[in-house]
Amino acid sequence: MARRLVCRAGRGTDGSAGLKLLIGAVALTALAACSSAGTGSGSTSAPASNSPAGGSSSAATSAYVQQSQQLLDKAHAAAVTGPSFGTVPLSDVVPWKSSDIPTPAAPPGKPLKVAVAYGIPSGYVPYAAHLIKAIGTKLGWTVSVFPASATSQAAELAAMQQALLSKPNVIIAVVIPAVWVGPALTAAKGAGIFTVDIHQDTTDGTGYSAVVPSAEGVQKAMLAAWAVAQTNGKSSTMLVDAPGFSDVNIGAARSYLQACGGCTTMTQQFNPTSFTDPTQIQSNARSALSAHASVNYVIWPTGGLPLTPALDGIAASPDSGAQLLVDDASPENVQLLREGKLPMVAEGPGALLVLEAIDDANRLEAGQPALAETSLRIPISYWTKSEAPAPNFPAITKAQLQTNDWVSPFATAWHVPALENVILGVTS
């Protein structure tokens, strides 16, 4: 969800890490300085057939279609999971079970003063901040929230510095890259203040005491499996990427599709600033599809970005029947799913990431190590139109909990039996 749209010299976009939250507005000034692609669609790779040199093997393609459908069936029956950080081999994607949740730590036995900082003013980010406050209050925490005045590096650094001035035990940031707030993280460490960041990973820099990534590699593999299965192994798929988006893990989708002998894939890079400009993103989507014939699926970096302009661009292109594939269930994309404008939405519970961040805070305050970013196992599934919940966070979370109980371990460890009700009571 995030704006890993920071200039990171030498870091590619091959999906070597995995996060999903590039939601909401982006720090346009910083990103414009980072980009060399202008305001248009940027560079693209030539379409590449994945057939072996000696011709495609129908048996191999058929087997891969079957494998893809089996992955989708497993995810649809309940959920699948894999390492929450990095590109995930298909062999590591397995059915999720409740025991995959690392046993939460008990609260440290003292009231904590916690500061929450965030920058993006809409969508998941403020929701997560308010969820931390609601749950923290039940744990006896004193929680203060510090929203940035703008979605920019300077404003988010200022918000972190304001959080520091409140002298908390812990600062929990929501989608604030470490490379943007290095001075604040250094100051926090010097003052003995722990720092945790949600929906981030170490591709955004180091310095936080703990980070909570979100299984982007598993979700992108699922989107690719959908394209393979729905086209009987003959998908022509455009992967949309942007400089600095390595942790949305478009590379995981690319790797999956490249193993499909009858499929064709291409990668289109868009200027990062265009993703929050409706006019630009509509134009870029239309232009990209106009340059490639017979595209049937477009895999987007994340469903947390505005999607309607992308759909409008697709509709205005020669490939007007191409379908948009997204992950990260949000009120907007769930609404589009209900309207039949998306074929499916891959999803993992955003509220679970908040619980894991709180658990990290408890661990750190108790003198225990935080969970490694590779240790989390997030249940990943998908919805189609007939299963789409109401387009709001409580309904989305309730639907996720009806399939997989990931709340009970935390409710038990924290002695908050009504934890699920607390979570469902937060709306935005």
Average pLDDT across the chain, whole number: 85
Q: What distances in angstroms separate CA 164 from CA 21, 141, 157, 194, one per listed residue?
A: 25, 17, 11, 10
Beta-carbon contacts of residue 272 (< 8 Å; ≥ 6 apart): 5, 26, 31, 34, 35, 242, 243, 244, 245
Q: Please state, in angstroms and as integers, the Cα–Cα distance from residue 355 to each residue in 238, 317, 327, 406, following that order.
A: 35, 42, 20, 9
Q: Where are the alpha helices (DSSP H) in 250-316?
A: 250-258, 278-290, 308-315
Rg (CA), the chain: 21
Region of poorest pLDDT, from 76-80, 101-105, 342-346: 76-80
Confidence of residue 274 (pLDDT cuts 50, 70, 90): confident
pTM given for the model? 0.84
Which of 6-15, 63-72, 272-281, 355-364 shows the lowest mean pLDDT across its residues? 6-15
CA distances to 175, 284, 338, 342, 379 from 305, rounded to whole Å, are 14, 15, 18, 14, 22
Query: Where along the chain do its domains lie?
Result: 28-96+216-347, 103-213+350-372+393-399+406-424
Residues 108-131: tens digit of each pLDDT: 989 999 999 998 887 888 999 999
CA 68 distance to own-chain centroid: 22
Distance from first CA to last CA of the chain, Å, rounded? 16
Protein fold of 28-96+216-347: Rossmann fold (3.40.50)
pLDDT at 11 over 60: no
Where is mean pLDDT largest: 115-124, 260-269, 369-378, 386-395?
A: 386-395
Phi/psi of residue 213, nearest 5 degrees: -80, 180
Amino acid, res. 282: Q
E-strand spans in 270-341? 297-299, 323-327
CATH class of 103-213+350-372+393-399+406-424: alpha beta
- Look at 128-142, 224-238, 267-281 and tell me which has the smallest mean pLDDT: 267-281
Contact present, 170 and 114 (Cβ < 8 Å): yes
Sheet holding 142-147, edge to edge: 142-147, 113-118, 170-174, 194-198, 210-212
On the question of a common fold for 28-96+216-347 and 103-213+350-372+393-399+406-424, the answer reads yes
Dist CA 193 CA 364 (whole Å) = 10
**346 touches 326 (CB < 8 A):** yes
Question: Which structure tokens are listed for 195?
Answer: 């720092």
Please, which residues have CB within 8 angstroms of residue 3's CB and are 6 or more apart in sequence? 22, 26, 27, 31, 120, 151, 175, 177
**What would the pLDDT profile of 343-369 be if each residue is shown by its tens digit?**
999 999 999 999 999 999 999 999 999
The continuous run of DSSP H or E covering 234 comes out as none
User: CB-hemisphere CA count at 13 Å for 11?
Assistant: 21
pLDDT for position 12? 34
Per-residue pLDDT tens over the stretch 162-211: 999 999 999 999 989 898 999 999 999 999 999 999 988 887 789 999 99
Q: Which residue type sits at 345? A: V
Model pLDDT, residue 2: 40
Say yes or no to pLDDT of 425 above 90: yes
Q: CA 104 to CA 154: how far, in whole Å?
A: 35
